[in-house]
Amino acid sequence: MAERYGNIVGWGKYVPDRVVTNADFEKRLDTSDEWIVARTGIRERRHASEGEVTSQMSTAAAREALGIAGLRPSDLDLIIVATSTPDYLTPPVSSQIQHLLGAGHVGAFTLVTGCTGFVYALATAQQFIASGSVTNALVIGVEIISRFVDWEDRATCILFGDGAGAVVVQATDEPCGVLSFDLGSDGSGAEHLILPAGGAAIPVTHEALVKKQQYLRMNGNEVFKFATRVLGKSLRQAIAKAGLTADDIDLIVPHQANVRIIESAARQAKLPMEKVFVNIHKYGNTSAASIPIALCEALEEGRARVGDTLAFVSFGAGLTWATAIVKLAERKQPVSRRKRWFSFLGWFIRDSSSLRSSE
């Protein structure tokens, strides 16, 4: 069987309208615009308004991606949603999105690996496409973290923002899409980035609420050290696995967590900052949504173009890391549809020649 690759043929994003600036935090916390910009690179972020939910934001981003791909929801064979902040713990938000999109009864699942979720989901979609079982996959990264942060914890609440990004991955026989990936996890660092209550370990009881265990807790220094330790190495490994060198990478689209972490990863991979896309100043850290949102903006601004080789590099809760080297290729007719047409052509030629010989 010919090899099948997953080309990114559509992309879309949704960010809430509500802009929260550093000045807004200055009004209610002991913090400053100067500290936030210097330590993180963030100037503002978007927060979901009351009533806005993960499934709706995802659907908006997905519709935009399907529009660019020129596909209908019914053309999808698979939906993978990466999020740590679904509408509910159960049912899975992926099924709600499938329903809202009107994507037929297509397979849909939610994948939870924190901020690395989108890269894990993209690598997973690629496997389904390579196996021949899927032609069009929708991959979404989405978060509403503003509902899970403690507004009195200045070390975490200033960092995060809400948003959604989506891509359509389509089967093709041209080598493109995810050329290689490097996925990893180290659960020994679980407590450094954790939302303690709401799972089976600590149900949401009055006591848990009094202890504020329903909010995200982070040991920023430890996460920072972890990120600078793993990112450069993961990036170098993924580039090597793809049979490429750093010079072959046109643009790094990193997880937007902290501009200092991004600079460190680029330095370690020997890539100049001109080859790195940064939009953290506008959106803060949107966790699993940050890479697909950044990808959309890089394409919109012409920083990424069809034909480019990109590196998606991320780290987050788990602790986890994930890098993918992705080539954006010109869109062709999906491989399975072309195959169907060729088999029809083969049947037609065979059939008409047997008709002629029987005449």
Q: Is 99 a catalytic residue?
A: no
Q: Is 115 a catalytic residue?
A: yes
Q: Which residues contact 76 (CB under 8 A, 6 or more apart)?
A: 66, 101, 103, 104, 106, 136, 137, 138, 168
Judged by CB, which is closer to ligand UT7: 223, or 253?
A: 223
Residue type at 87 in one-letter notation:
D
Beta bridge partners of 309: 327
CA 257 to chain centre: 13
Interacting residue with ligand UT7 among 18, 72, 154, 233 (CB under 6 A):
154
* String marking each residue 73-112 x if it binds ligand UT7 according to CB under 6 A: ----------------------------------------
Judged by CB, which is closer to ligand UT7: 40, or 56?
A: 40
Judged by DSSP in three states, 343 sits in helix
Using the rule CB under 6 A, give the single segment among 45-53, 79-87, 150-158, 330-338 that binds ligand UT7.
150-158
* String marking each residue 215-234 x if it binds ligand UT7 according to CB under 6 A: ---x-xx-xx----------
Catalytic residue among 47, 157, 285, 296: 285
**Tokens representing residue 2 in the block:** 């010919």
Catalytic residue among 255, 258, 279, 296: 255
Judged by CB, which is closer to ligand UT7: 7, or 323?
A: 323
Does residue 40 interact with ligand UT7 by CB under 6 A? yes
E strands along the chain, which residues?
Answer: 5-14, 19-21, 44-46, 78-82, 107-111, 136-144, 162-172, 177-185, 193-194, 217-218, 251-254, 309-316, 320-327
**Tokens representing residue 234 in the block:** 């993961």
Does residue 184 interact with ligand UT7 by CB under 6 A? no
Judged by CB, which is closer to ligand UT7: 42, or 69?
A: 42
Q: Say what angle helices 117-131 and 290-300 make with each other, to 10 degrees.
A: 80
Q: Is 136 a catalytic residue?
A: no
In whole angstroms, give the CA distance from residue 114 to residue 261.
Answer: 17
Does residue 195 interact with ligand UT7 by CB under 6 A? no
Task: Give the footprint of ligand UT7 on residues 293-352 (CB under 6 A).
Answer: 316
In whole angstroms, give the CA distance from residue 169 to residue 1.
Answer: 20
Interacting residue with ligand UT7 among 33, 35, 44, 202 (CB under 6 A):
35
In whole angstroms, give the CA distance from residue 82 to residue 142.
Answer: 6
Residues that bind ligand UT7 (CB under 6 A): 31, 35-36, 39-40, 115, 154-155, 158, 193, 218, 220-221, 223-224, 257-258, 285, 287, 316
Residues known to be catalytic:
115, 255, 285
